[in-house]
Structure 1
């Protein structure tokens, strides 16, 4: 099984902690750092679907699977979720 990033950085925000928690469940890991790569930790494509579905349920956002593959870290996915929230708020403000 692949090892964690040597420069472990714990989740820094509630969103990063939520994402890391989902990853821990799916990957059966005790600890996930914000810079750990999902695929280097042994994650597979079918597990990506589980992660994305769970995060969608918890955030009420539609996440693009492509975003996960482009940034397969907690920090990268967290940034994408924040951008989705901002875009949604902007769209609702323009209505």
Structure 2
């Protein structure tokens, strides 16, 4: 059995991965509550350009980002954006489940 003390590194890794999935779901809910225009500005102007942001590779965040590809600012960058999204796609090795 598994003890509650997270005695092994694998157990701690599993908890970190699950928390990452929970946080990405919470981000999606928060984005939904904030509204399309606010999140559109946030994604187009700020978040989609940040490679260091851990949740850019999440499939749900990528879909939200993809929703704003119709914007004028993105028309010339669509091929590059899709390539960047596929390179960022999870499972990120840092967050990859060891328990599967």
Structure of greater Rg: 2
User: What is the TM-score with the length of structure 1 in the denominator?
Assistant: 0.29
Q: Which structure would you say has the larger RCO, counting Cα contacts within 8 Å and 6 or more residues apart?
A: 2
